[in-house]
Amino acid sequence: MILCCICDKNIYKKPWLSVLNNTNTETSHVCSYICSNKIDTVVGKRYMDRIVNKEDFENIILPTSKYQISKESQIQSTEYEMIQRDIDYEEQLMFEMDLYEDSFSECSDEEKQQ
């Protein structure tokens, strides 16, 4: 009899997922997808290379984005921060220029009235 390593339920048919532990000596089994989400607490992180029943996952369709981003167009976080700082700086300059122009136009309006 096989037991689920997460919920201790008896598995009568084929387990949902079977994974070797870190020392590759024992196999841990889970009964369902829900339990498989927690298997890393038993077998450790990065267990994909230790899955025993890989044949059950061969034809799984993985979601993909219809928009592919090339490596040339990907921006690193430091580059993004630099670009964002430049944008913020430009916006601040534009704001200050608008204030200056507004104050200048008010001064010339006052001069015209005198």
Residue 68 resides in a domain: no
- Residue type present at position 67: Y
What range defines the domain where residue 92 resides?
73-114
Average pLDDT for residues 40-47, to the nearest whole number? 86
Which of the residue ranges 2-11, 45-54, 59-68, 105-114 has the most confident prediction, judged by mean pLDDT?
2-11
Digit-coded pLDDT (tens) for 61-101: 666 666 666 655 666 767 778 888 888 898 888 888 877 77
d(CA 16, CA 31): 5
Total-model pTM: 0.50
User: How many C-beta atoms surround the C-beta of residue 28 within 10 A?
Assistant: 20
* Co-location of 6 and 52 in the same domain: yes
Exposed e or buried b per residue across 51-84, where buried means at least 16 C-beta atoms within 10 angstroms of its C-beta:
beeeeeeeeeeeeeeeeeeeeeeeeeeeeeeeee
Q: Is the pLDDT of residue 30 over 70?
A: yes
Residue 53 resides in a domain: yes
Residue 26 resides in a domain: yes
Residue 90 resides in a domain: yes
Q: Is the pLDDT of residue 109 over 60?
A: no
* Domains in the chain, number: 2
Predicted pLDDT at 75: 65
* Co-location of 6 and 53 in the same domain: yes
* Co-location of 52 and 9 in the same domain: yes
Check if the beta carbon of residue 52 is closer than 8 Å to that of residue 20: yes
Predicted pLDDT at 4: 92
